[in-house]
Structure 1
């Protein structure tokens, strides 16, 4: 059995995935720590494997993997692949993955085959996380397809009918907007990001929740229509990221939710590029 470790380093969270024979079997999420060392990164992955072994990181229903299949000592996997939007942490996790697997991991970036055509002025500037998501979306939904990622930023990625990355949109995410609102206005508090009971809030907190959450829903619905009009056709829509399930339920457009999109894309990229 071939075990592959996928590591997706984002601005606020780092997601770990374990694939068995090419199928994502388990995943784990931790806060991204700008001061993380290679030793701490190794410890994080070891904790992930312990959680799988103890049933605290449940295996996917279709995973051809059992806790008994997990190695008891290094190397913990046969290879690894990393997508990072946090440059100062990339080499930290590369070193950790090398120690965990005994081989240098693949990193998503220039020179790595993705199977995507890039109709983009500077393909090297496209975030590694966005590349992984598009690879997985194309594999699961075909082309065209529109991916919406709810993270520190809210991003839109359009793969056109030819499977080319047509272009995208990057906007401030809900949490970033909520934090800026609370910090920039002296009388506005930090609020829990959840849908309000009524569109028009009868308290400051409810009004802010409506503006942030329902404003995000309206923005996503509106931009989907604008993207479709610009492209000249409709596409499947895939949401991923924190709160994607809640946002999808409030949207006027039908959308699929896939919280493992980036990790599955990393696994596919690994097998495209393995030596």
Structure 2
């Protein structure tokens, strides 16, 4: 058994998770869902971060988790200016080589994308975890600053996806663009037809997001020619899943688990 520390730096939040992994005897490119989350922590992602600041945040996060020896670390970062700081902090605090998800990483998943280097590391992690956990085909939906659809086809390949503004970004843009509209709480209203400005905005933003997701799911399945299990992760996943017409599984650790699985797939490669 190994322990791996996973760090997913997003535009809004940074998620940290400690996993125990039972190694597979299959080739290193094989990904096995033999993981257990031992502890996790969510931080706010700042605009800028020094290596020392990243070290402080990391050590505070580790203090909230079981005191287990760390065998490896893996970093997913969609904010390029923060990558070096987090990589240096992980290397210093954990004393092990840091694997950064990017071009050349081993995933065991064929990427049917015009330029695989364009696919964000968090999206890759979602694909790996969704395929390992839910099989092929599968559809992963990640809610955050952006809303990402990741499509795994019936052959287990990454078929592509959809990127759209996230629900919080949509609400913020609406309030910023229209002077008389307020910032609203992101929750579903009691009825579709709002009887106040806030309720009307909640209907348009929250119920509208659910309707958009349902519509995109229908379009994806129509284009594929078959349906697939749906898994939702990210900010407000449970609340939004309850509003969908489609049945969906909420998996809050999907991205971090995908990072742990990618580390497992690369561990032999790192030792050479």
TM-score of the pair, normalised by structure 2: 0.91
Paired position in structure 1 for 2:86 = 93
2:39·2:64 contact (CA, 8 Å) conserved in 1? no
Unaligned runs of 5+ in 2: 22-34
Equivalent residue pairs, number: 255
Say whether the 8 Å CA contact 1:77–1:100 is kept in structure 2. Answer: no
Instruction: Point out the more displaced range, 35-44 or 208-217.
Output: 35-44
Give the deviation of 1:4 after TM superposition: 1.2
Specify the alignment match of 2:30 in structure 1. Answer: none
* 1:51 match: secondary structure: coil
- Aligned-residue CA RMSD (Å): 1.1
1:53-202 aligned at under 5 Å gives the runs: 67=66, 70=67, 77-202=70-195
Superposition deviation, residue 2 in structure 1: 2.8
Query: RCO greater where, 1 or 2, for CA within 8 Å and sep 6 or more?
Result: 2
- Cα displacement (A) at 1:34: 2.0
| CA displacement at 1:24 relative to structure 2 | 2.1
- Helix, strand or coil at the partner of 1:250: coil
Q: Does structure 1 conserve the Cα–Cα contact (< 8 Å) formed by 2:48 and 2:81? A: no
What is the TM-score when the length of structure 1 is the normalising length?
0.90
Q: Provide the C-alpha distance between the structure 2 equivalents of 1:20 and 1:104, rounded to a whole number of angstroms.
A: 17
- Give the corresponding residue for 1:19: 19
CA shift, 1:103, in A, is 2.5
CA distances 1:100-151 after superposition (whole Å, capped 9, x unpaired): 1212300111111011111110001000000001100101000100011111
Gaps of 5+ in 1: 53-66
**Counterpart secondary structure, 2:136:** coil
Task: State the Cα deviation string for residues 70-96 of structure 1 (Å, max 9, x = none).
Answer: 15xxxx622100011010101110000
CA distance in 2, matches of 1:183, 1:111: 40
**Aligned twin of 1:64:** none
> Displacement of 1:168 after TM fit?
0.6
Residues 26-53 of structure 1: CA deviation (Å, up to 9, x unaligned)? 111000012211112111122122223x
